[in-house]
């Protein structure tokens, strides 16, 4: 809580907005009389916006409620953002901490692997993967995690390399703790700051990548929808109506903006050396 | 320096080979094949087609045949575009993509650099704060959002520029795709350069330069810019990769006959050789960009040369 109070006003506001957005993503599709993919034949192209209208923000060309669809997309996009980050976090932290803590030859080998993987154009592999194996939800997470854990691993490894030389690690070793115990009780908690900051900044990246893949028509599939799918649909219809494009774009922009603001603020609060 | 180039080329080859192998076997593991159609082909025709493209051989044989072909500069026949070799298709699409990406990179560097220099004149001042908010917005607007919005505004509403298409020598066709591709990069570059400039400007030698009475622009553009460029340069390797992926979307939105547009379609149609060719090419481009980044690093910072 004290951390929350240390954040600048803009970041606090961003956090509030983000929570409202997540709440809306949960509640709007539940409370609305329309389902995500429900077609209202009477409401096709009803003009937005208006609170008296049956559809507050109008509908798309198939007569689906835009407000509800925007938040249905939010559900998937936010979920993918969180789970994808978690996957990247899990792989990246354990890999980086192991490499950094045991250092030496193991570290050199493990980082060599990361270097090689870095040089691969992963987005293309992801596109190939999604195009070939169909649009599996699970596959999407695996692909996203596989792309984004590399940065995390490098970061964590660097931090761990510095931490392992510190006195408290030597003290723990003298106290007879095993290597794994030291890693778990003394190294990992000290990594928390860096990891939290980086994770906050990874969420928007995952959301971006997911919507990029969905925009290409390779990601989430009907009846599920995400912001990438909606933006793609909206872009196709924009000559008839701009709302199907604008609404998901605005939601995406707002979310990414909030997440980036929070991430930057956390970085300033938790990593004093970069504070300016 | 020659040493670095040689070493990079030598490690680059196994990296590319790894990429190629991974991609090759991944694609073959996937269900479906290049000759799946809505109406199935007569068995005799399909057998003949499979034999023609050597799909009847074992995977290992096909893999060896493919690598053997590459060693001789032949990336095999395309499955989708009958009668074309993959290298012919790439030779047709690559110049278009390079033109698009190169123009976008140039624009991003110039505009991003200018914004950063403007922002650091008064750090924390109104202009700096406005520019940083603007670039934060830019980071949050990926190019697949920017592209349709630009089309909507400049092509459909105002009618100033064409909404898509590509004719050689038509600069008007280039404006919107390049802008859409460059905008997010401008934001990134401006933010990176701003923060590294601020860091450099705090160094003692800058105070010394100021104390000698040099003008502020001379201090900024002659003394501070060189070390401040280093973080930007290490960003440019990944940025090149981002521009390449970005062009997949941009080429689709604007109907530009570059490599990116082939790529997604080829993967969906199981055009094995074309996908492999394009992925390998992208991999090589990314490796090349990383090498150029390291060379530029050495050129700017003599301390890096030994490594």
Question: Phi then psi for B85, rounded to 5 degrees?
Answer: -85, 155
What's the whole-number mean pLDDT along residues B165-188? 84
B interface mutation test: which of A13, A21, A119, A226 has the most B CBs within 10 A?
A119
What percent of chain A lies above the pLDDT cut of 90?
3
Please report whether residue B36 resides in a domain.
no
Taking CA atoms, what residue in B is nearest to A247? B145
ipTM for the assembly? 0.77
Domain containing residue B292: CATH number: 1.10.3720.10
Number of domains in chain B: 1
- Answer yes or no: do B279 and A123 touch at CB < 8 A: no
Give pLDDT, residue B304: 67
A92 contact B CB<8A: no
Q: For residue A116, which residues of chain B lie inside 8 Å, CB to CB?
A: 14-15, 18
Q: For residue A218, which residues of chain B lie inside 8 Å, CB to CB?
A: 264
Whether the per-residue pLDDT at B238 is higher than 80: the answer is no
Out of B26, B145, B151, name the one closest to residue A249 (CB): B145
Which range (A179-193, A196-210, B23-37) has the least confidence? B23-37
Please report whether residue B60 resides in a domain.
no
Please report whether residue B137 resides in a domain.
yes
Out of A124, A239, A261, name the one closest to residue B156 (CB): A239
Cα separation values, A107 from A168, A194, B18, B38, Å: 22, 20, 21, 52
Picking from A198, A101, A119, the residue whose alpha carbon sits closest to that of residue A159 is A101
- The domain in which residue B153 lies consists of 94-306
Q: Which domains does chain A have, with CATH numbers?
A: 57-275 (1.10.3720.10)
Please report whether residue B4 resides in a domain.
no
Whether the per-residue pLDDT at A273 is higher than 70: the answer is no
Give pLDDT, residue A135: 65
What's the whole-number mean pLDDT along residues A83-107? 89
pLDDT in tens, B195-211: 888 888 888 888 888 88
> At which residue do the structure tokens 């934001």 appear?
B187
DSSP alpha helix (H) spans, chain B: 2-29, 43-52, 59-71, 86-120, 126-140, 143-150, 171-201, 204-211, 216-218, 225-254, 259-268, 272-300
- The verdict on pTM exceeding 0.90 is no
- Count of CB pairs separated by less than 8 Å, A with B: 112
Handedness of CA B98, B101, B104, B106 (dihedral sign): negative
Which range (A63-77, A79-93, B159-173, B232-246) has the least confidence? B159-173
Give pLDDT, residue A54: 64
């Amino acid at each position: 809580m004290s951390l929350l109070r240390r954040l600048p006003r803009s970041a606090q506001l961003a956090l509030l907005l983000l929570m409202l957005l997540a709440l809306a993503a949960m509640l709007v599709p539940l409370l609305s009389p329309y389902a995500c993919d429900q077609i209202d034949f009477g409401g096709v192209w009803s003009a937005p916006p208006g609170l008296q209208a049956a559809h507050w923000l109008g509908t798309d060309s198939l007569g689906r409620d835009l407000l509800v669809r925007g938040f249905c997309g939010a559900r998937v996009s936010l979920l993918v953002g969180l789970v994808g980050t978690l996957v990247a976090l899990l792989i990246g932290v354990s890999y980086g901490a192991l490499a950094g803590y045991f250092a030496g030859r193991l570290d050199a080998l493990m980082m060599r692997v990361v270097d090689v993987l870095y040089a691969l154009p992963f987005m293309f592999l992801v596109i190939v993967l999604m195009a070939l194996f169909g649009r599996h939800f699970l596959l999407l997470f695996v692909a996203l995690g596989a792309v984004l854990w590399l940065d995390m691993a490098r970061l964590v490894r660097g931090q761990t390399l510095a931490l392992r030389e510190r006195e408290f690690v030597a003290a723990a070793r003298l106290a007879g703790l095993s290597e794994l115990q030291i890693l778990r009780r003394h190294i990992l908690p000290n990594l928390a700051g860096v990891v939290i900051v980086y994770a906050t900044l990874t969420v928007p990246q995952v959301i971006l990548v997911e919507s990029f893949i969905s925009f290409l028509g390779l990601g989430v599939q009907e009846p599920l929808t995400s912001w990438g799918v909606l933006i793609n649909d909206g872009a196709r219809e924009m000559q008839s109506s701009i709302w199907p494009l604008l609404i998901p774009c605005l939601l995406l922009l707002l979310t990414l903006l909030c997440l980036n603001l929070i991430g930057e603020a956390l970085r300033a609060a938790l990593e004093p050396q970069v504070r300016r | 320096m020659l040493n670095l180039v040689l070493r990079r080329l030598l490690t680059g080859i196994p990296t590319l080979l790894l990429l190629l192998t991974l991609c090759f076997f991944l694609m073959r593991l996937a269900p479906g094949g290049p000759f799946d159609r809505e109406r199935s082909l007569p068995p005799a025709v399909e057998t003949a087609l499979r034999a023609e493209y050597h799909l009847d051989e074992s995977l290992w044989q096909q893999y060896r045949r493919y690598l053997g072909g590459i060693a001789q500069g032949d990336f095999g026949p395309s499955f989708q575009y009958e009668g074309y070799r993959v290298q012919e298709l790439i030779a047709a699409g690559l110049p278009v993509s390079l033109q698009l990406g190169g123009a976008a990179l140039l624009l991003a560097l110039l505009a991003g650099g200018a914004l950063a220099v403007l922002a650091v004149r008064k750090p924390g001042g109104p202009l700096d704060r406005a520019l940083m908010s603007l670039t934060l917005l830019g980071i949050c607007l990926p190019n697949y959002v920017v592209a349709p919005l630009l089309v909507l505004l400049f092509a459909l509403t105002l009618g100033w520029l064409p909404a898509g298409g590509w004719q050689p020598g038509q600069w008007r066709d280039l404006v919107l795709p390049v802008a859409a591709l460059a905008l997010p990069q401008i934001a990134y570059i401006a933010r990176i350069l701003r923060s590294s400039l601020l860091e450099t400007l705090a160094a003692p030698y800058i105070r010394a330069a100021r104390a000698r009475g040099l003008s502020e622009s001379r201090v900024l553009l002659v003394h501070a810019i060189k070390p401040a460029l280093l973080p930007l340069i290490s960003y440019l390797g990944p940025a090149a990769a981002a521009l390449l992926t970005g062009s997949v979307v941009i080429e689709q939105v604007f109907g530009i006959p570059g490599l990116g547009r082939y790529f997604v379609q080829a993967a969906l149609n199981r055009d094995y050789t074309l996908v492999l060719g394009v992925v390998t090419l992208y991999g090589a481009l990314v490796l090349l960009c990383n090498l150029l980044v390291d060379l530029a690093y050495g050129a700017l910072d003599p301390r890096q040369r030994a490594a």
